Structures are given as C-alpha cells and as structure tokens.
Amino acid sequence: MSRFRRKSFSALLTVAAAAGLVAGGVSAPAATAATAATDASVGKVVGYFTEWGVYDRNYHVKNIETSGSASKLTHINYAFGNVTNGGCAIGDAYADYQKTYDAASSVDGVADTWDQPLAGSFNQLKKLKAKHPGLKVIWSFGGWTWSGGFGQAAKNASAFANSCYNLVNDPRWAGVFDGIDIDWEYPNACGLSCDTSGAAAFKNLLQALRAKFGSKLVTAAITADGTSGGKIDAADYGGAAQYVNWYNVMTYDYFGAWAAQGPTAPHSPLTSYAGIPTAGFYSDAAIQKLKSKGVPASKLLLGIGFYGRGWTGVTQSAPGGTATGPAPGKYEQGIEDYKILKNSCPATGTIAGTAYAKCGSNWWSYDTPSTIAGKVSYAKTQGLGGAMFWELSGDTTNGELITAVAK
C-alpha cells in the first residue's frame, strides 16, 4: 500500500463513511481459448495491476504469467495514471516505461537492452498480450489519491478526453492499451477531497470519452454506497451507463479501522446482516440500487478484494466487537494481503457471504476461495457482467483467489 493505493488508510481516517468506498509457456491458441472460455463461463474477469507493485511488493507483470493468472483474466486494469491540469498524465514514468528487466524477470525470458524504445511494465504487458492474444489491457486513471483532478477535467470534458486519448494511444506504447478506465472517487461527493462538479459531470465526462475513444473500451470504477441519498445518488450513474462498456463496482472497503474503536465488521459484505454498522453498506444494496437507476445488470462487475481489513485490541470473536485501533499490516496499518492472512490468521467464520477470523487480539475480515465462489454465484444469478478484483499482488503465487473467480 503506497500513497497511490485506492484506499489509503490515513486518507480514510478523514472520511469514515467512504464506502465503495486483480506458469509460463502457454501457446497462443491455448491461451486464447482459455480467455474465451473464462469470458463465456463467468463473464469478465478484470484484475487491477498496480504500477507501484514493482517496488516494495516485488510484483511484476511476469508474476501474472507464473501464477497462472494470465490465462484466467479477460482484462487487466493498469493503475493508475494521474489526472491533473484538466487531462490525463503519466503516473510513474520509471515503472511504466523506463525500468529495464533482465531475462529472468521478463515475461518472455528475453532481457531488455539499454537502447530499446520501450521498457518498464508497459513493455512487459505487451509481451504478456503476445502470449495471450485474447487478453485486453485498460489504463485506469485517478484512484483514491488522484481523483482530485477530475473536478477540473469535468469543466472541459472534451479537452480531457482528447488528452487521455493521446496519452493512452501514444506511439511509444502502441498496442499496449485497449481502452481507458476512469476511477473517480467520487463525482459530486467526498473522497480524499470533496467534489462539487454537479450530478451531470460524471455522465458528461463519460460521454466525451466515448465520443473520442469510439469502439475502444471505456469503463469506470464506481462507488458501491447503497445508502439512501449516498454516493450513488450523488451522480448520474444511470445516464452515464450508456457510454461505458461496464462499471467496476467497488463492493469492498465498507468498514475498516478508520473507525478505530470498531465495531468490527466485514469490509466486503455481500448481504446485510443483523448488527451491520451502516444500513446499505453491502454489495447487494449497491447492485440493486444501480439496477434501479437503469444500469443494465450486464454492465455491472462485482468487486472483490484480494486483501483483508482488520482491528487490534479486540476481545470478541464474532463481528460487532470493540477495538483500540488498526491491526498491524505489512505495508500499512489495518490492511493485509490475502496471501499473508491465509497463513497468519486463517478464517474461522463467515458472515454476509465473506469470512473473518480473530487471532490473538487482532480481528480480520477477508474473502477466501470459498466465499469468492459464493460471490461469483451471486453475480451469475443476478446476470452481472462478471467480476473485478483489487488487486493481483494480494493473491497467492499460484493464484488461489483468481482461480475461484474464474472457475
């Protein structure tokens, strides 16, 4: 969790209710068939890859391949590009297109040379797509940290769309990206900062992007606040739906240790339950609310977190207990990757379609292969377009969670 992470814990302290708040040598034909089969069976499987993951997390594009995830994904969202000065901008030039890879760390086993025109994760993604021709890559802009720029962008949506189109389709990385994802947290509502651009701004922005990007993919990550008068009601998500291929509904981060004293609660409940701290802060509430706004079910992807949120100073095993603050985490307090939690604090119970565990005085909630299977079943029953997850590096080295998503 760096400052770029979708939900910075320190930032969330300021908005307690900010809900809504992915084996080498596969032949091209086999990979194409695998991707097509995944799409047909569960719809889209969209996973976020974070540009900062190549640093402390030591998670690179090659890991998508070696974990077996590449053949299970239909789309990768590359997070994040910046939104500044009314346009789209590079997030981290070094990680994106400058960092060189040796043969051992390169997707295709071929080392970068000092004078090649494109390096970094962009070049590695290009190599990954060559192995998996059915795989699409989408560049995501904004996120928790950089959403403050969308207000200015909305003042001239056409100029913003032109800027983004030119960056996504820059000749230096031609062939890498198949479209754009907008992660505005949140239009006409508060995230890290508060936006006052009006209820129509989001629709206008997406309309301009669709006009510029034409048949290329245009998607958006959106709030999952199912409360009455909440974030879904603050902007015209129904009207904007006609311009997107789909919405990535961020059905996680409903509860967490930004409420330092608790009560402990699962951060990604699928359904409501007795004692839920905030009515409407659960996945099904968001999905039904978006449907009621006229968003087609097929354009909704259910969000799944590949991480847990936790408290410390907890004495009660069941949800609803008091706490003294955030549980320790490897990169940031109050949050931990699934790949760590599955061993450090194995799930002992489930509530509202997700799992939880108390280990010592720490209490964690997170999704497991079993609870993900339940969420995927829900998505199918609801006729949703598939599932999205945040983010790839939280999974095990053999891709336990993505296997459950794509099964």
- pLDDT by residue (tens digit) across 77-88? 999 999 999 999
Angle in degrees, CA 189, 190, 194, rounded to 5: 95
The rounded percent of the chain whose pLDDT value lies above 70 is 90
Cite the beta strand spans of 125-245 per DSSP E. 136-142, 179-183, 217-222
Domain membership of residue 220 (yes or no) is yes
Question: Please, what is the average pLDDT of the chain?
Answer: 91
CATH assignment at residue 236: 3.20.20.80
Residue of 51, 65, 185, 391 with catalytic role: 185
Alpha carbon separation from 143 to 21, 67, 83, 119, 240 (Å, rounded)? 11, 26, 9, 24, 19
pLDDT at 15 over 80: no
**pLDDT for the residue numbered 42:** 61
Burial of 117 (0-12, 13-18, 19+ CB in 10 A): exposed
Residue 339 belongs to some domain of the structure: no
| 207 vs 218: CA distance, rounded Å | 10
At which residue do the structure tokens 């510029």 appear?
212
Q: What is the pLDDT of residue 148?
A: 97
Which pTM value belongs to this model? Answer: 0.91
320 class by beta-carbon count within 10 Å (0-12 exposed, 13-18 middle, 19+ buried): middle
Domain span at 145:
9-307+368-406
Identify whether 39 is part of a domain.
yes
Q: Is residue 348 part of a domain?
A: no
Residue 19, pLDDT above cutoff 50: no
The answer to whether position 277 is within a domain reads yes
In a domain, 318, yes or no: no
Q: Which amino acid is located at 177 in the chain?
A: F
Q: Give the pLDDT confidence of 297-329 residue by residue, as tens digits.
A: 999 999 999 999 999 999 999 999 999 999 999
Reported confidence tier of residue 73, pLDDT bands at 50, 70, 90:
very high
| In a domain? residue 191 | yes
Query: Residue 9: is its pLDDT beyond 90?
Result: no
Tens-digit pLDDT profile for residues 100-136: 999 999 999 999 999 999 999 999 999 999 999 999 9
Our answer to whether residue 185 is catalytic in this structure is yes
Inside any domain, residue 135: yes
The total domain count for the chain is 1
When mean pLDDT is compared across 14-18, 193-197, 286-290, 333-337, the lowest value belongs to 14-18
The mean pLDDT of 380-397, rounded to a whole number, is 98
